Structure formats: C-alpha cells, structure tokens
Amino acid sequence: MNGNGKKKRIGVFVCHCGVNIAGVVDVERVAKALEGYSGVSFSTHYIYMCSEPGQNMILETIREEKLDSIIVAACSPTLHEKTFQSVIELAGLNPYQVEIANIREQDSWVHSDKEKATLKAIKIVKSMVEKVLQNESLEPIRVGVTRRALVIGAGISGIQSALDIADHGYEVLLVEKNPSIGGHMIQLSETFPTLDCSQCIMTPKMVEASRHPNIRILTYHEVESISGYVGNFKVKIRKKPRFVDPDKCTMCADCEDVCPQIVSDEFNMGLSFRKAIYLPFPQAVPGTYTLDIENCLGLLPIRCGKCKEVCEPDAINYDDQETVFEEEVGAVVVSTGYDLYDLNHLGEFGGEKYEDVINGLEFERILSASGPTGGEVRRPSDGKVPKNVVFIQCCGSRDPENHNPYCSKICCMYTSKHAMLYKHHVPDGNATVFYIDVRTGGKNFEEFYQRTIDEDQVLYVRGKVSKVYKEGDKIIVWGVDTLTGRKIEMEADLVVLAMSMVQTDGVNELLKKLRISSDANGWLSEAHPKLRPVESLNAGFYLAGCAHGPKDIPETVSQASAAVAKVGDLFAQEQLLHEPTVVPVDEDLCSGCGICVTICPYSARELDKEKGVVKVNEVLCEGCGACAAACPSGAAQQRNQTDDQIFSMVRAILRG
C-alpha cells in the first residue's frame, strides 16, 4: 500500500553488470525471490540495465505491466540514478518513483561467498521495495538565477575567468586583496616553454580586464562572507582603505619621493625597498598609489603629512575608512592562487640565514629585466655576479615524512628555465641542478629541458642534497649522487631552491566561510577528480588555477576557461532545479528546541521566534538528513526517506 492507501504496482529489474554483479550474486535467484513480494507485480534480470536495450526493456515493461514504480538492483545510485529517473519519466511516471538497490558496491564487490552474497542482495532489494511502497511523487524546487559572477583572486586564473565571463556578456566582480591585479605571473621573468616575457603577455590582459565594461575590479578588497545558494548568493565585501583616490592619482610619484618610511618591497621579494606610499609596480592596475597604513608613520589621527602636502591633485585622504558592502551574484569562481613554502622549514639548507640561498620567485626577480638588478644576475649578499650556481629541486615537495607529500609539478620546468636563463646571462658560469626525477609532461616541455642540457651545458646531477652551509665566504652544497653513490661537495656562489607550492595564507579560513572543502594538503577539492574537475561540491562555486593545486600558466588558463564554461551552463538556465528530497518541518510536532538549526551544515534552518517553530529554506537544504536524525520530536522528516520508510526497510532486512 502507498500513503494514499492505493496498492502499488512495482517492477524489479536486476542487473548483471556483466560479471561485476553476476559473477558473485545469483541474479536469477534474486529476481525469482522478488516475484510476488508485497507490491511487486513484475521481476526480471538483464545483463546491462543501463544499456539502450536494457533501458528500452524497462520502458516497455512499465507500459505493458502498468507499473507505477520500479527498483533497479544495480550499481551505486551516484552512477545511474539519473539514467533510470529519465527512463521512467519517459514512461510518464514521476522520477521519484524509482529506487536503486545497490548490489554492486555494497555487495558483489565486497563479498566472495556466492550464497551469502545472493541472500544479501535479496534483502537489499526487498528493503528498497519497502521504501518505494511509501515514496511520494515529488516535483523539483524551482529558483531563479542572478546572472552575475564573483571572481576571488586576480592572478592570471582570476583575470582569465573574469575576461571570459565578461565576454559571455555577464557582469563580473573581480576581487583582489592586493593593491593591484596580476598575482604571481606578473613577477615572473620569462616563461617556459617559450621564454616569452611574462609581463609582456600579462599586461595586455590586465589592461583588457580594466577596460572591459562588464568587469568591475575591486583591488584592495576582500570577501567577508557569502550567504544564499547557487544562483542566488549574497556576498559581503570589505574594502580596505587605500587613502589615495584612484580617480585623482596621476602617478606622479611626488608623494613617494618625500615619504620617509622605507620598507622591503614585496613585488621584488624583499630584494629592494619601497615607501609607505607606493605603486606596487609600474604596470599596476588600477594605476594608483596606495598608502600602506601598517608602515605609514601615522598614528591616527596624526600623520607626518608629507605626502599630502606635495600631492598636487589632492588625491590623498587620511580619513579613508574600511567599509563593508553587499553584492548579489549567481556564481563564484575561486582563483586565489598559491604561495611558496617557507624557506625556514628547510633548516638543513640554512633557512633564511644565508642571504645567497634563495627561492625561485626571488630568482625570478633577479632575472627580470624590470627587477632590482635591471636583469643582471647578481647575488643578494654583495651584488657580485655568481659564477657557480646550484639549483635544488623538490625542496619541501615529495617528502611525506618531513614536508609536503605532493609533487609541485612546475618546479622541474622552472628550474630548467632558471638554469637556462642564468647561462644566457652568464655564459662562462656553471649551473648545476640537483634532481630526484625530471618531470616534463607538458607540450614542448621535454624539448625545452633537453635544450638546457645540450645547448646550455647545464649539469644535471641525480641526487639529494643533505646540507647547505657556509665555510667562510663560500656556500658549500653537500649531498650524494644517487646514480654513482658518490658523495658530492660543491662550492656555490648562489643556491636557488625550488620551493614547494602551498595553499595561500588565509585561504583556508575563506574556504570554511564558503563551505568549500579542501584536501589533506589544503588544496581546493573538486566535485569529481575526473569528471567534474572545475566545480566544487558546493553548488555554484567553481575552481580555477593554483588554488586547486600546483599548475603552470597554460593549465591555469585552461582551467579558468573551463570553469567559466560551467558558469555559462548555470547562467543559461531559465530556472534552477533543486532536489525536492529535502527535510521540511511538521509545525505541529516541532517544539522549537532548535537542535536541527545548530546541526545543519548548510544553514538551511532557522528558528522562527514568533511562532516558536523552525523554518526551512528548502533551496539551501542538501538533504543530508543530519537534522532528521537529530530531531527529538520526529518533526523533521526527509521526503521519501521518512522514519516510517527507514523502519520498514530495517524490518525487511531483518526478516530476510
């Protein structure tokens, strides 16, 4: 009987899945055992239910036998529930009248005893019959879409995402925490595998983004919080005070000339100085100075006032304040990039103790024509041209015991690039690379690496460096050549460490706020590692660039465009459909204790103080059932997964 007291006519379809199921479970016996079971009017088995003939058979049987609901005993519902829902929809039935009995992952794949596995399969199918007997026909919940996107982080991945969304004709908010867009790519010298100048290919994109009528760039801004649901998010954005009006600033640099506060320049990785009021780099977008309040002499409300005194267009406003405002968007692309692993984790290499033991980004600045040395390779301690440079790969990567277990993927290539560029600058110098493996799995990567060896005479030593230390003026690199087993002691003027890529500082806190999960190493998790690599499990959030894991520029750009294609899918829909298998509240039973409100991981439930009962935002409910399990009054019953249904299922299993 179903809820309306009407008798149901249920069909059972048992799948062999080739030998995946039939190799262990006697499918014929399962189909037979279900014949005549309460409500079951038809039962059969077939080799591949998901194949076209299998689907057609279900379709025809529904019509011939006048079935009103079916059970497919097969693989996990995550694989084919949608397939069979559409089959019965074709037959004119409600898609919520199909249930999948999982006899593969939960039975044949985990057992070898045929007899016991077959009995278990029968129990599983019977329990699903009990469930479907009480299933209601449901309609999806429909909601509108705000066709406007938020992109968090404006490195190459964020800029590419913003440009693509904008070119699709939708508005974009591009939020960047730093004073300028550009991310790490704008710091690089030349880029493998083609050696084009990074700034030369990056600045046109930055300018394009700043001029695009659909893009609103919000630099020096951060995302405070995001509420709502896919298609309908409300974002709180915090504007940090810049104290300079970008519209008035003419970038004359007068303020910078007089500012007495001198600090290390982040853009040049601390290899030069900047003032407290500064332009991050000449091509910065937006083109404006920023007063860095942390380093300004000012002690509110007084300032030394030198910068304001000389600023002719009167762009400086010491009263600028932090503000928080709200925006509505339908989709969010997270493109917050990466940081490098802190050198101080590598005590055996001296950490930051030795000025001439540097990381890859520091070397990028030394190589860069716009860098602190004007593109001449000099070492940081005394400005001399280094004649012996040692490059060490995998610093902090592929070392599960002490550091990060993963491969940072790009370091083989950028080390090869570094050694090559060094030799172009200092042809009579010696470049030695210590490596564990050289991984060159990208288009034209292997050829590039071979050129480093053949044309530029870079020496590659397969080995581990165990120590870097100083003897007088010299840096000594001490390790072992693992191919010959010989110990190596080598003098170096400069040592460049290929530090592991790591998740950006502060991003994990942001992810918690966005309810996006990350993996054990802190990288953003995708919805499916193979089939949904650019979506987050949290609907409406998309992933681009290194925030999701180490990547080079071509891969970052491809992922950004792929993420935008998914945003486009979302924005192309008239209305969004949400699963109706949510957990409503029976107001007559609800005592207003609020336990479900605290337990709901999706903030879908809230206490209606006036009525003293809980209210549910069904669009936010993901149907996880946490509240249904927790409610002491039985007021939270999940649709098509009620307590009654669960108890009947348990009874069916116990009966056998």
Ligand X SMILES: Cc1cc2nc3c(=O)[nH]c(=O)nc-3n(C[C@H](O)[C@H](O)[C@H](O)COP(=O)(O)OP(=O)(O)OC[C@H]3O[C@@H](n4cnc5c(N)ncnc54)[C@H](O)[C@@H]3O)c2cc1C
Q: Of the two residues 250 and 575, which places its CB atom closer to ligand SF4 in the complex?
A: 250
Nearest distance in Å: CB 310, ligand SF4: 6
| 251 contact choice in ligand SF4, other proteins, ligand X, none (CB below 5 to 8 Å, kind-dependent) | ligand SF4
Burial of 317 (0-12, 13-18, 19+ CB in 10 A): middle
Instruction: For residue 539, state whether it binds other proteins (rule: CB under 8 A).
Output: no
Applying CB under 8 A, the span of 103-111, 138-146, 265-273, 490-498 interacting with other proteins comes to 265-273
Q: Which residues in 449-508 contact other proteins (CB under 8 A)?
A: 504-505
612 and 654 Cβ atoms separated by less than 8 Å? no
Q: Tell which one of 291, 496, 516, 600 touches ligand SF4 (CB under 6 A).
A: 291
* Residues sharing a CB contact under 8 Å with residue 100, sequence separation 6 or more, in sequence order: 71, 72, 73, 74, 75, 76, 77, 80, 81, 84, 128
In angstroms, rounded to a whole number, what is the distance separating the alpha carbons of residues 206 and 286?
Answer: 9
Applying CB under 6 A, the span of 90-98, 203-211, 257-265, 346-354 interacting with ligand SF4 comes to 257-265
| 331 contact choice in other proteins, ligand SF4, ligand X, none (CB below 5 to 8 Å, kind-dependent) | none
Please list the residues that pair with 217 across neighbouring strands.
174
Instruction: For residue 263, state whether it binds ligand SF4 (rule: CB under 6 A).
Output: no
Q: Which residues in 332-371 contact other proteins (CB under 8 A)?
A: 339-340, 342-343, 352, 355, 362
- Cβ burial 563-587 (10 Å sphere, 16+ → b, else e): bbebbbebbeeeebebebbbbbbee
In angstroms, rounded to a whole number, what is the distance separating the alpha carbons of residues 605 and 583?
Answer: 10
DSSP letter string over 250-286? ----HHHHH---EEE-TTTTTSSEEESEE-SSTT-SS
| 152 contact choice in other proteins, ligand SF4, ligand X, none (CB below 5 to 8 Å, kind-dependent) | ligand X
- Binding marks (x or -) toward ligand SF4, 292..321, rule CB under 6 A? ----xxx----xxxxx--xx-x-xx-----
**Upper half-sphere CA count for residue 43 (Cβ side, 13 Å):** 20
> How close are the terminal C-alpha atoms of the chain, in Å?
20
Please list the residues that pair with 191 across neighbouring strands.
196
**The two three-digit tokens of residue 474, written as one number:** 């010299």
Q: Of the two residues 135 and 359, which places its CB atom closer to other proteins in the complex?
A: 359
DSSP 385: P
Instruction: For residue 266, state whether it binds other proteins (rule: CB under 8 A).
Output: yes
Nearest distance in Å: CB 430, ligand X: 21
Nearest distance in Å: CB 176, other proteins: 14
Residue with tokens 């559409």: 86
Applying CB under 8 A, the span of 80-88, 268-276, 401-409, 641-649 interacting with other proteins comes to 268-276
What is the helix, strand, coil percentage profile of the chain, to 5?
A: 30, 25, 45
Dihedrals phi, psi of 232, to nearest 5 degrees: -145, 65
Residues that bind other proteins (CB under 8 A): 257-262, 264, 266, 269-273, 275, 297, 299, 302, 304-306, 339-340, 342-343, 352, 355, 362, 372-373, 378-383, 504-505
Residues that bind ligand SF4 (CB under 6 A): 244, 249-255, 258-261, 276-277, 289, 291, 296-298, 303-307, 310-311, 313, 315-316
Residues that bind ligand X (CB under 6 A): 152-158, 175-178, 183-185, 188, 191-192, 222-223, 335-338, 340, 360-361, 364, 410, 414, 417, 504, 506-507, 510, 545-546, 551-554, 556
